[in-house]
């Protein structure tokens, strides 16, 4: 027993020494100290003749030292000892290759492939050696021979595809991946990951061409149309992706799950037309479908976004959307399922169709339904308060805001309620109290509430310091209230009455111009809006409205007028001249999108 313990300790000690020598030899090799490395590798190989990797690295060192005679001598000696080892012929080929004897090198490479034993380990070993020396064509032949000769059959799809990629042959890489999908040697999700890593946008055209060819040849294969649909999504070509998704759903008689998910992706990316197409398809599968209600709701939301986002709509489109909402509520009822859509419908009625009484009736009924989730009820109360304020019912509005504030003290909804109450006081001319509340809300959880509170707090403080009576500020606040109540002409008239001829109140000039620009935008009077924003930039470039005016100008040119070159100039000016603005990041992003950059 004692002898066994001593033997084990000696073995462990020798193993540790050899491991240290191996690490040292590798360090010498990595540092280009080939002479030191060669001595260590040769010594290691003599101690462990079965560890052929030490011999291979020894030969690499000798070749790096250009000691070709020694390399040839040791290789011939080793080949006599291991006559069936294909890798030795590959190394002999490298010896000839570094001496520019191409024909002799290729002859040795051919022998290496010929002598390769038909097992997976030998194939990988020889192919990797060829890859390390950038002999990609020979590496391909090794794997191809392996697939032909190994029993039971082995597939080297990933390896073949990777070598094609290294050669710059992306169509060949794709061909191997698609072959692998066909014979089930690769997984679709893994192929998608590799395509994302290695393909640029232009190469997707070749992928799609190959997929169409294979789908025609093998129409029953499930993964080819899925990969085709996925490729369109990567290019944000949601229209073509949707056609594939709907076709697959019909062929497979599925539940609409894939179509619904793709529709959500298109909606979130702003392609409302495609989203509407997909949600309508899922809805039309009928109430028995598991996605029926979700698709019906999202269809209405997408239709609304499609109509109102660009502000290019007429009465006919709005009336049709109103009819669709009414049909949905008639079919589903006003309950916890339809609650969020009722809020959307009320907004359409109040803000776009001018039917405030109808909006108020909808929300008043909704907040009385006991089963509706309390956060949704609170959101309905906040909107209901807004609509009462639009109609001039200030006390009804503040009562609703205060209810939400009380019920959601520590929640973002409570912060929004406090903001709305403070804004109501601002509209009423109670500037000092409003400014104090906005000052508190600077630390709000919501970045949007915080930013708006900061803007209004600073705005009131600055203007009260310059206008101690608050008369001009009262006029301006009245104009903002009129705008909030959708009384655009009234707001414009109030703003036009502010006497800029008086130098003591000229401090409101950029604010008035900016608000006029916003009103003109709402009225789709784009050129007049651009002119007002231009005035803000020219005469008040240091003011707090300048970056917002520039952003609005860029947005009008970009989304309303289609003048993308001019929009790019304005976006660029924003992120260069106003680099500290919170809008600078979005301006840079949109500039790069218009320039055609591929964004992550």
Compute the distance between CA of residue 67 and CA of residue 42 in angstroms, rounded to an integer: 15
152: left (phi over 0), alpha (psi -120 to 50) or beta: beta
Which pLDDT does position 84 carry in this prediction?
Answer: 86
Average pLDDT over residues 562-576: 94
The structure tokens listed for 170 are: 């992306």
- What interhelical angle do 188-198 and 223-234 show, nearest 10? 30
Is the pLDDT reported for residue 464 higher than 70? Answer: yes
Which pLDDT does position 8 carry in this prediction?
Answer: 42
CATH code for residues 468-595: 1.25.40.10
> Which one, of 332, 322, 343, lies nearest residue 296 by Cα?
332
Average pLDDT over residues 265-283: 93
The structure tokens listed for 400 are: 């609703």
Asked whether the bond before 152 is cis by omega within 30 degrees of 0, the reply is yes
What one-character DSSP code corresponds to residue 352? I
Please say whether the beta carbons of 259 and 244 come within 8 A. no
Cβ neighbours for 529, distance < 8 A, ≥ 6 positions apart: 517, 518, 520, 521, 552, 556
Output the CA angle 484-347-294, nearest 5 degrees: 150
Whole-model pTM over 0.75: no
Radius of gyration of the CA atoms of the chain, in A = 37
Which pLDDT does position 506 carry in this prediction?
Answer: 63
Confidence of residue 455 (pLDDT cuts 50, 70, 90): confident
> Which one, of 120, 67, 60, 66, lies nearest residue 90 by Cα?
60
What one-character DSSP code corresponds to residue 599? -
Dihedral, 416, 420, 426, 427 alpha carbons, nearest 10: 150
Compute the distance between CA of residue 193 and CA of residue 589 in angstroms, rounded to an integer: 25
Please say whether the beta carbons of 381 and 398 come within 8 A. no
Which pLDDT does position 6 carry in this prediction?
Answer: 45
Please say whether the beta carbons of 383 and 343 come within 8 A. yes
Which pLDDT does position 491 carry in this prediction?
Answer: 94
Is the pLDDT reported for residue 82 higher than 90? Answer: no
Compute the distance between CA of residue 585 and CA of residue 358 in angstroms, rounded to an integer: 40
Please give the share of the chain, as a percent, with pLDDT higher than 90. 57
Q: Residue ranges per domain, the chain? A: 468-595
Please say whether the beta carbons of 452 and 439 come within 8 A. no
Q: How far apart are the first and last CA of the chain?
A: 65
Which pLDDT does position 326 carry in this prediction?
Answer: 94
Task: For residue 45, report the phi and psi dihedrals to the nearest 5 degrees.
Answer: -70, -40
Confidence of residue 12 (pLDDT cuts 50, 70, 90): very low
Give the count of beta carbons closer than 10 Å to the beta carbon of residue 209. Answer: 12
For 92-137, the pLDDT digits (tens) are 898 888 889 999 999 999 999 999 999 999 999 999 999 988 999 9
For 466-523, the pLDDT digits (tens) are 765 678 889 999 999 999 998 999 999 999 998 765 565 567 889 999 999 999 998 8
Is the pLDDT reported for residue 288 higher than 90? Answer: no
Q: What is the average pLDDT score of the chain?
A: 88
Tokens 């260590």 locate to 40
Is the pLDDT reported for residue 311 higher than 80? Answer: no
Please say whether the beta carbons of 86 and 117 come within 8 A. yes
Please give the share of the chain, as a percent, with pLDDT higher than 70. 94
Confidence of residue 14 (pLDDT cuts 50, 70, 90): very low
Average pLDDT over residues 198-226: 90
Compute the distance between CA of residue 362 and CA of residue 342 in angstroms, rounded to an integer: 7
> Which one, of 185, 133, 192, 182, lies nearest residue 159 by Cα?
185
Average pLDDT over residues 265-288: 92
């Amino acid at each position: 027993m004692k002898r066994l313990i001593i033997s084990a300790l000696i073995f462990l000690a020798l193993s540790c020494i050899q491991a240290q020598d191996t690490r040292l030899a590798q360090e010498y090799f990595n540092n280009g100290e080939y002479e030191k490395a060669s001595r260590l590798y040769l010594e290691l190989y003599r101690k462990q003749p079965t560890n052929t990797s030490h011999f291979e690295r020894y030969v690499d060192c000798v070749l790096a030292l250009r000691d070709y005679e020694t390399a040839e001598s040791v290789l011939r000696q080793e080949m006599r000892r291991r006559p069936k080892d294909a890798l030795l012929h590959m190394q002999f080929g490298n010896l000839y290759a570094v001496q520019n004897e191409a024909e002799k090198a290729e002859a040795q490479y051919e022998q290496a492939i010929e002598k390769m034993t038909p097992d997976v380990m030998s194939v990988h070993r020889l192919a990797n050696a060829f890859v390390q020396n950038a002999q990609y064509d020979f590496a391909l032949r090794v794997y191809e021979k392996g697939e032909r000769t190994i029993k039971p059959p082995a597939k080297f799809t990933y390896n073949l595809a990777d070598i094609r990629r290294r050669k710059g042959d992306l169509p060949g890489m794709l061909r191997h991946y698609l072959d692998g999908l066909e014979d089930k040697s690769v997984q679709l999700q893994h192929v998608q990951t590799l395509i994302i890593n290695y393909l640029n946008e232009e190469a997707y055209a070749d992928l799609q061409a190959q997929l169409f060819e294979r789908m025609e040849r093998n129409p029953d294969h499930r993964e080819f149309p899925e990969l085709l649909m996925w490729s369109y999504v990567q290019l944000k070509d949601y229209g073509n992706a949707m056609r594939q998704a709907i076709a697959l759903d019909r062929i497979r008689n599925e539940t609409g799950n894939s179509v619904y998910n793709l529709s959500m992706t298109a909606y979130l990316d702003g392609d409302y037309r495609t989203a509407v197409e997909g949600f309508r398809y899922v809805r039309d599968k009928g109430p028995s479908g598991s996605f029926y209600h979700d698709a019906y709701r999202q269809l209405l939301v997408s239709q609304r976004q499609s109509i109102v986002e660009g502000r290019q709509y007429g009465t006919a489109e709005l009336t049709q959307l109103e009819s669709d909402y009414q049909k949905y509520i008639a079919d589903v009822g006003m309950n916890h399922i339809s609650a969020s859509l009722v809020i959307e419908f009320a907004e359409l009625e109040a803000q776009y169709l001018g039917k405030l009484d109808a909006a108020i009736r909808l929300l008043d009924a909704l907040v009385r339904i006991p089963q509706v989730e309390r956060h949704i009820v609170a959101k309905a109360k906040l909107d209901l308060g807004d609509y009462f304020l639009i109609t001039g019912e200030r006390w009804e509005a503040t009562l609703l805001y205060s209810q939400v504030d009380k019920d959601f003290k520590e929640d973002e909804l409570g912060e929004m309620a406090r903001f709305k109450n403070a804004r109501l006081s601002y509209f009423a001319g109670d500037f000092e109290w409003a400014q104090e509340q906005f000052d508190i809300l600077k630390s709000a959880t919501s970045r949007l509430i915080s930013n708006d509170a900061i803007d209004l707090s600073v705005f009131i403080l600055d203007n009260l310091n310059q206008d101690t009576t608050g008369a001009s500020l009262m006029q301006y606040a009245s104009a903002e209230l009129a705008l909030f109540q959708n009384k655009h002409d009234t707001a414009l008239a109030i703003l036009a009455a502010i006497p800029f001829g008086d130098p003591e109140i000229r401090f409101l000039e950029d604010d008035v111009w900016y608000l006029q620009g916003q009103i003109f935008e709402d009225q789709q009077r784009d050129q007049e809006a651009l002119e007002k924003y231009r005035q803000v930039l020219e005469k008040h470039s240091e003011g707090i409205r300048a970056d917002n005016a520039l952003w609005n100008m860029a947005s009008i040119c970009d989304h309303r007028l289609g003048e993308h070159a001019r929009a790019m100039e304005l976006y660029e000016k924003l992120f260069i001249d106003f680099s500290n603005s919170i809008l600078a990041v979005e301006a840079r992003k949109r500039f790069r999108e218009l320039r055609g950059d591929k964004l992550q």
